[in-house]
Amino acid sequence: MGALKTFFKDTVIYGMATVLPRLMNFILVPLHTDTLETTSYSDNTTFYVYAAFFNVLLTYGMETAFFRFFSKSEEKGKVFSTTLISLTATAVLFFVVSFSFNRQLATLVNLNQDYFNLLLSVLVLDTLVVAPFAYLRATGRPIKFTAIKLSNIAIYVLLNFFFLWAVPRFGFQFFNFDSNDLVKYIFIANLVASIATLLLLSPYFFKTKFQFDISILKQLLNYGWPIMVAGLAYVINENFDKWLLPEMLGKDINGAYSGCYKIAVFMTIFIQGFRLGAEPFFFNHSKETNAKSTYATIMKYFVIFGSFMLVFIVAYLDIIKEFLVKDESYWIAIEIVPIVLLANLCLGIYFNLAIWYKLTDRTQYGMYLSLVGAIITIAFNYIMIPKIGFMASAWATLAAYGVMMLLSYFFGQKYYPVPYNLKNIAFYLILAIVFSVLALRTNSNYYLNTGLVLVFLGIVSVLEKNQLKLFLKS
């Protein structure tokens, strides 16, 4: 239980690095949907779709590879230095080559050239800080990690309000401010925040002794390249719909879909916060005799909390949408939210299960599983969008993550069996789905929906009270 307490403590702190920035981003959802037309919001979404794709390419699995080899290496400084030098060199090379052909590349990805140049700058700056951030996590410095992450998002949010709200409202004379191209200033805010983050982490470029070890680099690349392919497939699973919908249904539909998709980010916040604390913990704890039992317990409580979030958000969806997405033109896509929430819960379970191929150095399986998900995503979207519209994209996401979750479990039990309590996990998942369906059918009767939320919590407290008492006493 002591290890579990350490895990949950670190996860809470790392979760703050995810939850608070995402909550700040929630503040931006009403601002963006109020000030941007659905077509401009689609451009904003497209920018970050490409950012996600190139971020994976530019880090090429090195972050996870770093955790793996840093945790077991006796030459930790050399592992960090090799990772830092490799990522810095490739990021600079990428910028030089891409900027040399920026006009052609901007046309290729269907982005305004100014947007593309901003994208390049943000990508390189964010890549440069990957190794220092990973070092903070690997050496158990969650508070410093969180403080820098929060500084980044605070700058980004404040500049968004300055550019999109204060300047137009108060008529500030700000350089050649273009009120007809507000979305550009979202990207400028991101650039300024990325520069500030690099400055805060710059000491780590000089504290370490620069040592570049080819043998370590080869190990990192061999471990990391399947992670990169899996990451690219994950980006496809997460963003292919937002890339395809403008082409098949129009930017206005994609803008509405993307705006409503943001509501499901509550689940994404939980999952990302969990991952930040879980990944280094899983590696560092792997040699303990009770490691597998600990992983099983973590999985169960992950599912419990995720299931509760699913029920809660669906129960109060009408309230949440009016708070986050005030413009009713976006609400045509609100029905995707429960499906996307469940899909992200399946993804979170998959991330839990994925520890088997990371600990056994079979990262190629992560690549294979993600590619299966990508194939499902692409095929389902192309076949079903013409038949059922944007709902096909939500169902495709659920199908992809559901299949990945199941396949990962079956392969994991073969190579690294963990005694997951499948009966409890299945029970909580089914209970959450049933309660969510009931909440959707109550016609926004919040008395009944609150009852469903309380009943769910009551069932959890009854079934888990003994283990919770042990955890609190330890």
29 against 116, higher pLDDT: 116
Structure tokens at 147: 């403080």
Please say if the pLDDT value at position 193 is more than 90: yes
Q: How confident is the model at residue 428 (pLDDT cuts 50, 70, 90)?
A: very high
Minimum mean pLDDT range among 63-77, 210-224, 239-253 = 63-77
Minimum mean pLDDT range among 69-78, 124-133, 256-265, 358-367 = 69-78
Average pLDDT, the chain: 83
Please say if the pLDDT value at position 275 is more than 80: no
Q: Which amino acid is at 127?
A: T
Structure tokens at 396: 């495709």
Please say if the pLDDT value at position 171 is more than 80: no
Query: In the predicted model, what is the mean pLDDT of residues 428-453?
Result: 89
Which secondary-structure segment (H or E) carries 354? none
Structure tokens at 292: 């597998």
Please say if the pLDDT value at position 471 is more than 80: no
Minimum mean pLDDT range among 64-73, 276-285, 428-437 = 276-285
pLDDT number for residue 21: 64
pLDDT number for residue 10: 58
Query: In whole angstroms, what is the distance from residue 417 CA to residue 320 CA?
Result: 40
Gap between the terminal Cα atoms of the chain: 6
Do 189 and 120 touch, CB atoms closer than 8 A? Answer: no
For 166, counting Cβ atoms within 10 Å of its Cβ (0-12 exposed, 13-18 middle, 19+ buried), the class is middle
- CA-to-CA dists, residue 154 to 17, 151, 162, 458, angstroms: 12, 5, 12, 37
Q: How confident is the model at residue 431 (pLDDT cuts 50, 70, 90)?
A: very high
Structure tokens at 461: 């407290």
Q: Which amino acid is at 277?
A: G
Which residues neighbour 156 within 8 Å (Cβ) at sequence distance 6 or greater? Answer: 24, 189, 190, 192, 193
Which residues neighbour 101 within 8 Å (Cβ) at sequence distance 6 or greater? Answer: none
Minimum mean pLDDT range among 144-158, 223-237, 308-322 = 223-237
Packing angle of the helix pair 265-285, 130-138 (nearest 10 deg): 60
Query: In whole angstroms, what is the distance from residue 324 CA to residue 232 CA?
Result: 29
Please say if the pLDDT value at position 81 is more than 90: no
pLDDT number for residue 262: 80
- CA-to-CA dists, residue 149 to 156, 231, 258, angstroms: 11, 22, 24
Model pTM? 0.73
331 against 304, higher pLDDT: 304
Query: In the predicted model, what is the mean pLDDT of residues 6-18?
Result: 59
pLDDT number for residue 470: 63
Query: In the predicted model, what is the mean pLDDT of residues 319-344?
Result: 84
Query: In whole angstroms, what is the distance from residue 59 CA to residue 119 CA?
Result: 16
pLDDT number for residue 22: 62
Q: How confident is the model at residue 357 (pLDDT cuts 50, 70, 90)?
A: confident
| Contacts of range 420-428, beta carbons closer than 8 Å, 24 or more positions apart | 420/296, 420/299, 420/300, 421/296, 421/300, 424/300, 424/303, 424/463, 425/299, 425/300, 425/303, 428/303, 428/304, 428/307, 428/460
Please say if the pLDDT value at position 5 is more than 60: no
Percent of the chain with pLDDT over 70: 89
pLDDT number for residue 468: 66
Please say if the pLDDT value at position 147 is more than 70: yes
pLDDT number for residue 269: 74
pLDDT number for residue 277: 64
Please say if the pLDDT value at position 287 is more than 80: no
Angle at 362 between CA 270 and CA 273, to 5 degrees: 10
Query: In whole angstroms, what is the distance from residue 201 CA to residue 215 CA?
Result: 27
pLDDT number for residue 26: 65
User: Phi and psi for 434 in degrees, rounded to 5?
Assistant: -60, -45
Look at the chain and report how many structural domains it folds into.
1
pLDDT number for residue 355: 83
344 against 73, higher pLDDT: 344
Do 312 and 453 touch, CB atoms closer than 8 A? Answer: yes
Please say if the pLDDT value at position 2 is more than 60: no
The single-letter DSSP state of residue 53 is: H
Please say if the pLDDT value at position 467 is more than 80: no
pLDDT number for residue 429: 94
pLDDT number for residue 189: 92
For 403, counting Cβ atoms within 10 Å of its Cβ (0-12 exposed, 13-18 middle, 19+ buried), the class is middle
DSSP labels, 154-180 = HHHHHHHHIIIIIHHHHT---TT--TT
Percent of the chain with pLDDT over 90: 26
Please say if the pLDDT value at position 235 is more than 60: yes
- CA quadruple 212, 215, 220, 225: dihedral, nearest 10: 120
Q: Quote the domain boundaries for residue 224.
A: 2-473
* Alpha helices (H) in 389-445, listed in sequence order: 391-415, 422-440
pLDDT number for residue 342: 94
Which residues neighbour 104 within 8 Å (Cβ) at sequence distance 6 or greater? Answer: none
Query: In whole angstroms, what is the distance from residue 471 CA to residue 214 CA?
Result: 45
Which secondary-structure segment (H or E) carries 153? helix 142-161
> In this predicted model, what pLDDT tens digit does every residue of 365-387 receive, in sequence order?
888 898 899 999 999 999 999 99
Query: In the predicted model, what is the mean pLDDT of residues 401-427?
Result: 92
Structure tokens at 232: 């690219």
Query: In the predicted model, what is the mean pLDDT of residues 76-100?
Result: 89
* 105 HSE (CA, 13 A, CB side): 18
Structure tokens at 311: 């029920």
pLDDT number for residue 285: 65
Q: How many CB atoms lie within 10 A of CB 85?
A: 18
Please say if the pLDDT value at position 14 is more than 70: no
